[in-house]
Amino acid sequence: MDNIPNYPFVMVSNHQSPWESFFLQTLFLPTSSVMKKEILIIPFFGWAISRLKPISINRKLKVESMKKVVQIGGKRIRSGYAVLVFPEGTRNKPNEGIGKFGNSCGVLASNESVPIIPICHNSGKYWINKSFNKKRGDIDVIIGKPILGTDPKTITGEAYSWISKTYTQIC
């Protein structure tokens, strides 16, 4: 927790299960999550999550989604929010490692002059994706040091490298 600043930042995490979507929103308040728009139409759950001011995107429209994350995410950061981004875009199975990262996290962080806080976990081992079944065990969560920079690709790459390396250590 020592690596979580008391000012806005871009939180970047690997994505394996619903667990991190819930848990990571509690690390810094307020937090606005980038999520696929389909989540918001789920009865009751989606309606409740919409109250948390997420940034909903259409993943098929990559350019428009990037613009929306940068525009609305920037407004949220300037209003004191952390912005949670899962740059892999979709959940990966734990045995597949870390997927390719999109650059929206780096663009947002560099545009707003805030750090990326990389977070790595192994929740997919216990909260199986697309299943109500949970396995017994402890989820490891490691929060990396802030990553600052002005080049979006460089800081996104640094976040990816740190999360990938850390993931091999905890799995």
Output the pLDDT for position 36: 87
Output the pLDDT for position 131: 79
Q: What is the mean pLDDT of residues 116-130?
A: 92
> Percentage of the chain with pLDDT > 70?
100
Tokens encoding 74: 């920037």
CATH, domain range 10-170? 3.40.1130.10
Output the pLDDT for position 66: 92
Rounded-to-integer distance, Cα 171 and Cα 168, Å: 6
pLDDT at 130 over 80: no
> Percentage of the chain with pLDDT > 90?
70
Residue ranges of domains in the chain = 10-170
pLDDT at 128 over 90: no
The dihedral through the CA atoms of 26, 107, 159, 149 has a sign that is: negative
pLDDT at 48 over 90: no
Q: Are 9 and 110 in contact (CB under 8 A)?
A: no
Output the pLDDT for position 49: 81
